[in-house]
Chain A
């Protein structure tokens, strides 16, 4: 089945998922992000690439952080940015997702940054735009349900590449609630596409999806075994509603088994880096000493995130 995020010429038309995204497109995005990192360091942080374009931040799920980074990225490309928090607007009055899109298209939208609580929502929008022949409008998935968060995956790959250079030598561990994590899914796809030989997931059975090995990962339930010899440790956020009930008994027990402490980190390689998509729950998935320690690259991830999003938007808008 043709990948709906590529156009007929094989170029990126939308960024919906890292699944089946060719390595050369991923590499191009990462390479394009490099100069954007420098631009963030000068006084005038703008380039004129998206001047005159209107970017709509369509957030059906609240997220000030992600929305802000997309807004900054789009503004640094000189785009006009409109933020729509759909929870309080017309959709609660019964307007369907696609009706909302049609209305915004009529307002000359050039790009939709979409975050939605349901897996597949950005795909639906992309397919609708294609069916209604709006080929100049691009969709960026800012997180759909549990399915994917491709820009997060890309900035995680950028971060790993920045510190570790060659994916083909690495052992990467992803720890925590993989079952509900779109961040984990995207990162796993990106890592396997770029040739990472060992990608591990670490967590209790309740938080690992069925047949997760089919994604190309090795499963560990014991964090000590899973961290041994890792070059990169990615800690996933544990959402509060998962912390009790039938998935887990308590945050405390989770931290005991799966929290990243200084002691456990010693099992990884001495130059291992620690990543987290944020926001962190200190003392639940990660100890403050690690989060603020010398292995942590959590703050650079944020900086890289803006550059990577600028790269994605400028490649899309030029196709």
Chain B
């Protein structure tokens, strides 16, 4: 099917393109950009006048809640949410039930996603069996089944010797490992950032050093093993500084931040709003500023949604008892645009953090609109304002701190492999 997306503002961060142009799609690939290929006759023309045309978004962390947590969300509902949010490829963490520690589970997930024929799903495999932190998984088998990396999700990995060996093993075969920098002991029982807000609200707290101590441990293990590590979900200003220094020293590390931490801080908890109960916790104003600066200067490679649908019942509880997490697939784009607008950043810089950079970190040939690339495209209206309300979200997770707020930026068309999978 030949599709022409005409007259939109094409922003392709990887190719450094930001101009009004037409995109030509044929046989599921980008056939040309700018001038029509010879003998071009479109089956469908999408008029993108006034809209932005960019590579389909790539979300490095979105929980689909399958297997095991189907009462919170299903593959179908969350992939539908993804494409509604312009996300054409996503990676999902291994902390399902059971965790993704068996090739069969991974194959099943990939198979069902293929059948849906909407977004590409890249499972991240469990680093240890059952995510129990004792025995390493059959990483080779899991890679063959379709995993792109290994992580421990939010589960604790306490034993540093196990961590060292898991990283050594992964390094042997060149597998990437994603780790959340949070010291289990220092974070134990904590639900909020250790600062003025937690003190005033009387919430058990997680100090910033829970992140920095874990980061330094990981850096040492990276030095010892040479493994490629991606640090999942930075939250502190000290953490950003340490990553900056470690990158400068040449460590093979990348890192990300969740979109919520780009905008919110602990003050937003207000009077115990459980929608602000997140992992890692929302930190202070200074931390948020450092995260934004880190994103602007590339210390932080990418933004993910950290999409985590939580059912209402699990949020309608006292703060510390509520389940952490926020829905995010459909908010990733407008919230990224909001950040760019507020900090005066070029659109291409902002979009890079959710297209070309995640592609690089995930090792995918995607996130760009070069000739011959898979035609994964997101066409959005940057000025269309909409109110975040349960009815407006396709995800089964309606849990977001942004409920009731008006955001600018709505996806009008999402194409995956040259097919229109979503239009609004």
Contact = CB atoms under 8 A, between A and B. Distances in A.
Contacts of B195: 210-211
A230 interface: no
A104 interface: no
B271 A98 contact: no
Given A1-B270, A120-B271, A210-B194, A215 B318 contact: no
Given A119-B203, A145-B320, 12 more contacts: A4-B271, A96-B316, A96-B317, A97-B318, A118-B320, A118-B321, A120-B320, A123-B271, A124-B316, A145-B318, A210-B198, A210-B205
Contacts of A98: 316
B202 interface: yes
Given A19-B200, A210-B194, A123 B317 contact: no
Given A119-B320, A124-B316, A145 B202 contact: yes
A214 B316 contact: no
B282 to A, nearest CB: 15
A205 to B, nearest CB: 13
B318 A121 contact: yes
Nearest to A17: B271
A128 to B, nearest CB: 7
Nearest to A180: B202
12 contacts: A116-B318, A118-B320, A119-B203, A145-B318, A147-B201, A147-B202, A185-B202, A210-B199, A210-B205, A210-B207, A211-B195, A214-B196
B313 A96 contact: yes
Contacts of A1: 270-271
B42 to A, nearest CB: 51
Nearest to A179: B199
A227 B200 CA distance: 24
B40 interface: no
A116 B272 CA distance: 14
Contacts of A127: 271
A120 B316 contact: no
Interface string B301-319: 0000000000001001111
Interface in A171-222: 182, 185, 209-212, 214-215
A120 B272 contact: yes
A124 B200 CA distance: 17
Nearest to B318: A118
A148 interface: yes
Given A97-B317, A98-B316, A211-B195, A120 B201 contact: yes
B271 A214 contact: no
A100 B115 CA distance: 44
A148 B313 CA distance: 25
A140 B287 CA distance: 35
Interface string A1-30: 100100000000000000100000000000
Contact of B200 (A4, A97, A118, A215): A215
A128 B202 contact: no
Interface in B318-332: 318-321
A182 B200 contact: no
A269 B384 CA distance: 67
A185 B201 CA distance: 9
Contacts of B320: 118-120, 145
B318 A182 contact: no
Interface string B203-237: 10101000000000000000000000000000000
Given A1-B271, A96-B313, A210-B207, A120 B318 contact: yes
A146 interface: yes
Nearest to A212: B199
Interface string B84-127: 00000000000000000000000000000000000000000000
A124 B318 contact: yes
A119 B192 CA distance: 12
Nearest to B316: A98
A221 B52 CA distance: 60
Nearest to A131: B316
Interface in B271-299: 271-272, 274
Interface string A95-106: 011100000000
Given A210-B195, A210-B207, A119 B272 contact: yes
B196 A124 contact: no
A185 B320 CA distance: 18
B186 to A, nearest CB: 12
Contacts of A185: 200, 202
